[in-house]
Amino acid sequence: MSVLDEAGQAGVVRPYGDTTGDGMVQLSFTLPVPPGPLAEGAAQQLARKMGLDPAMVVHAKPVGPDFTFFVVYGRVRHLVNLSDVQITEREYPLLNAREINAEVRRVLRRRMVVLGACIGTDAHTVGIDAILNVKGFAGEKGLEYYREVRVVNLGAQVFVPDLVRRARAEKADAVLVSQVVTQKDAHLHNTEEMSAAFREAMGERRPLLVVGGPRFDPAQATALGVDRVFGKGTTPSDVASYLVHALAARKGKS
C-alpha cells in the first residue's frame, strides 16, 4: 500500500500487525501492583482506556515483589494523517571533512576548539565519544579526525562550574554536552542549568552550546537556552557541518 494518494500527496495510514491496516499495536508499561490476576486486570483496564479494543495482556513479568511489567497487544481505531506530520528540516548543508576544514580556515583563520562532556551524574560517555573520538560512529570518523578541529573531551560527570571554567581557559568555540539519563527529566534540568551558567558567566561571548542524547527533541533548543539539540542517530558530520554553519553565521561570514 502506498502512503501517497493519487495526487502524490501524503495520505492516511494505520498501524500494521497481521494484515495491512488492521490497527494492531504493542504497548509496554509497569504498574505498582504485585504480579497476579489483579495486576493483569489493571493492565487491561489501562490499555482499554488508552483506546485499545480488544486489549490482550500478552506478557506479564514481576519486577520485585510490588511491581509488574506488561506487554499489551491490541487494536486501535486511530488514523495517522501524514500531511499533518511536522518535521524539523536540517537548515545547513552536510559537508565532508575536506569542506569542513576549509570552512573552519575561512571563518576562523585558526583551528576550531570544541569542548565536550557529560554533565551532572551522567556517566554514559559512549554517545559523546561517538561524536568526538577519532573512531567515530556509523562509519564516520569523529571530530578529532578533522585537522582544523581541536577537541578537548572532559568525559563523564563534569560539574557545570568546571565546564564553564574550562571553556574559558580553552577559548572554546563550541561546548558539546551529552545527556543520556532522563529520570525525573534530569537531562532537561541539567541542560537548563548549564545554559544559564554560560549566559551568566559569559553573556553574548559564550561559546556555541550544543546538547545531544537519545531522548532529546531537536525542537527543544530555544526552551533549553542552547543553540542546537541533536537526538538519536546523530553522526559526527551532522555536528561538524552544523558547527561551521553556526560559527559562520555568528561571524557574519555565511
Active site residue 184: no
Distance of CA 166 to the CA centre of its chain: 25
> DSSP letters along 19-65, please?
STT--EEEEEEEESS-SSHHHHHHHHHHHHHTT-SSEEEEEEEEETT
Size of the site for ligand B12 (CB under 6 A): 28
Task: Please select the residue that binds ligand B12; options are 44, 190, 234, 237, rule is CB under 6 A.
Answer: 234
Task: Please select the residue that binds ligand B12; options are 55, 72, 115, 130, rule is CB under 6 A.
Answer: 130
Q: How far apart are CA 99 and CA 206, in angstroms?
A: 26
Q: How far is the CB of 17 from ligand B12 (least distance, A)?
A: 24
Does residue 136 interact with ligand B12 by CB under 6 A? no
Does residue 146 interact with ligand B12 by CB under 6 A? no
Q: How far is the CB of 84 from ligand B12 (least distance, A)?
A: 27
Q: How far apart are CA 131 and CA 118, in angstroms?
A: 12
Does residue 232 interact with ligand B12 by CB under 6 A? yes
Q: Count CB-CB contacts under 10 A for residue 58.
A: 10
Does residue 178 interact with ligand B12 by CB under 6 A? yes
Pick the catalytic residue from 61, 135, 171, 232: 135
- The beta strands (E) that lie in the chain are given as 12-13, 24-31, 55-63, 67-75, 80-81, 112-118, 149-153, 174-178, 208-212, 228-230
Does residue 210 interact with ligand B12 by CB under 6 A? yes
Q: Which residues bind to ligand B12, rule: CB under 6 A?
A: 121-128, 130-131, 137, 176-178, 180-183, 210-214, 230, 232-234, 239
